[in-house]
Amino acid sequence: MNQNGSNGIRFFSGESIPVELHKVRIVQKLHLKPIDERLEAIHEGGYNTFQLNTKDIFLDMLTDSGTNAMSDNQVSSMLQADDAYAGSQSFYKMEAALKEVFGVEYVLPVHQGRAAENVISQTFIKKGQVIPMNYHFTTTKEHMEVNGGKVLEIYTDEALKINSDHPFKGNIDIKKFKEVIDTYGAENISFVRMEASTNLIGGQPFSIQNMREVKKLADEHGIMFVLDASLIGENAYFIKEREEEFKNTSIKDILRLMCDFADVIYFSSRKVSSTRGGGICTNNKELMLKMRDLVVLFEGFMTYGGMSVREIEAMAVGLMETLDDTVISQSPAFIKFAVDQLDKAGIPVIKPAGALGCHIDAKGFLPHVPQAEYPAGALAAALFIISGCRGMERGTISSVRDENGNDILADVELLRLAFPRRVFTLSQTMFVMDRLKWLHANRELVGGLKFIDEPKVLRFFMGHLAPTSNWPEKLVAKFKADFGDSL
């Protein structure tokens, strides 16, 4: 695999095309419904793509979480699962895989990533403490705040730039880390957290060099280092591609190196191993024992942690497969292909291309929609209406209100189109790009949204919104005028 996302395969034509190094053996039929039915579906779903039913969706690019394609070896391993409340052999296989891939001694299984965040936050955060990190993730921040902690984002100046060629926008700004230590004192810092392939800023990686510097400072002040490894495979892949020192290092060795910096590693295995579940790992017995009681209390016995043993079997196989370049490079290669297409068409998109998905800058796409009217949410709804493709709002709707009830406007307004591993084909990718180009040409037709039903916690999941005018109907009329009876 190389920087141009072509799997090292050169084309006679000179084009850069990501060739799939797998074949499709089990398929699921999709439906592309007529535009009037799509409008009705999003209307009923309160203009919130989380509220759609997949029967109305053509390409589901909401997330890669629990939706990556599984390999034949993963699926077949599920048949061998050992059903046992305690001491299941499936768990020991997963533990062995984590030892091998992350180099860790102790494994606490949990039902998904946010369950790990719950255990870690309850165990290590004291009221009034701060938690510095490269950037928050929605559920991470919520768990930390519920436990009385305050999230401090200490990203670099490059992190939030839409158009950048910086290879490691997920890095922590070391100067800011020092300032946090000086201001709050190490004793008031629960831990420092680094999130691999930083999700909410566009799947952007950090470098090993940055990890080294963070670790050095953390050690000097006795601060614990927590690594969110949900997207660690892709981050390791970008290190190999972009950090000169590691261009000849194997993904396996890079992964081990990354994990060696951390005192505690946690992950959503809905992402990292293309299964459903999660875990917390450490080499420090004392830290493990501090967390263990909460696992038994909230998750399940120590050898399943709320997961199905079948998923645990598939996790063990999936973890080993993250060492395979052709598995780990597939999603970034497709994302790069999509980003290049959009960029060429003048559509504002986060650059450089990162992990997880292609992130469209909704503020740049819809400059006439004020941030208070949720441009990223509006763009997600508009794209669904005109294509049947479901993306995810990652902007102010995914944020919260302040104590006076005012929206805290998000740093960036993004429409995320996830590329779950090995799920979509290139022609499907090209279909979405085509519809996005049409939408961009007709962007003035898209208006804003307002909340009509707003939950207090993680409102973006269950909230209902309405358009601020009849713009969806106007958009449908223009689509029909341009595309006739095409779906």
Report how far residue 460's alpha carbon sits from residue 394's, in angstroms, rounded to the nearest whole number: 9
Half-sphere exposure of 215 (CA within 13 A, CB side): 15
Query: Cα dist. 465→305, 392, 439, 461 in Å?
Result: 36, 14, 21, 12
Determine the size of the site formed for ligand F0G (CB under 6 A): 15
Question: In angstroms, rounded to a whole number, what is the distance separating the alpha carbons of residues 291 and 125?
Answer: 12
Q: Select 136 or 363, whichever has its Cβ closest to ligand F0G.
A: 136
- Residue 452 neighbours by CB distance under 10 Å: 11
Using rule CB under 6 A, residue 142 touches ligand F0G: no
- Residue 67 binds ligand F0G, judged by CB under 6 A: no
By the rule CB under 6 A, 188 interacts with ligand F0G: no
Closest to ligand F0G by CB, 173 or 228: 228
Q: How far is the CB of 445 from ligand F0G (least distance, A)?
A: 28
Q: Does 230 bind ligand F0G (CB under 6 A)?
A: yes
Return the range that interacts with ligand F0G (CB under 6 A); candidates 94-102, 110-118, 314-322, 407-415: 110-118
Q: Indicate whether 199 belongs to the interface with ligand F0G (CB under 6 A).
A: yes
Which range in 112-120, 243-251, 363-371, 478-486 contacts ligand F0G by CB under 6 A? 112-120
Applying CB under 6 A, which of residues 60, 95, 142, 228 lies at the interface with ligand F0G? 228
* Cβ 264 vs Cβ 131: under 8 Å: no
Among 7, 48, 63, 322, binds ligand F0G (CB under 6 A): 63
SS3 state of residue 414: strand
Contact 37, 56 (CB under 8 A): yes
Stretch that binds ligand F0G, among 8-16, 136-144, 172-180, 442-450 (CB under 6 A): 136-144
User: In what helix (H) or strand (E) does residue 260 lie, and over which residues does it extend?
Assistant: helix 251-260
The single residue listed with the structure tokens 């958009």 is 475
- Edge to edge, what strands does the sheet with 278-282 contain? 106-110, 278-282, 264-268, 225-228, 192-195, 130-133, 150-153
Q: Does 268 bind ligand F0G (CB under 6 A)?
A: yes
Smallest gap from residue 427 Cβ to ligand F0G (A)? 25
- What are the tokens at 162? 């839409």
Which neighbouring-strand residues pair with 279? 109, 267
Print the binding letters for residues 69-108 with ligand F0G: x by CB under 6 A, - otherwise. ----------------------------------------
* Residue 225 CB contacts under 8 Å (≥ 6 apart), including other chains: 191, 192, 194, 214, 215, 218, 261, 262, 263, 264
Of 206 and 479, the one with the shorter C-beta distance to ligand F0G is 206
Neighbouring C-alpha atoms within 13 Å toward the C-beta of 455? 11
Which secondary structure element, helix H or strand E, spans residue 406, and what is its range?
none
Which one of 47, 91, 102, 137 is in contact with ligand F0G (CB under 6 A)? 137
If the CB atoms of residues 373 and 393 are measured against ligand F0G, the closer one turns out to be 393
Interface residue with ligand F0G, options 6, 48, 74, 112 (CB under 6 A): 112
If one asks whether residue 113 binds ligand F0G (CB under 6 A), the answer comes out as yes
Residues with catalytic function: 85, 137-138, 228, 271, 394, 460
Would you give the DSSP letter of residue 26?
A: S
Is residue 249 involved in binding ligand F0G (CB under 6 A)? no
Interface residues with ligand F0G (CB under 6 A) are: 63, 65, 112-114, 137, 139-140, 195, 199, 228, 230, 268, 270, 278
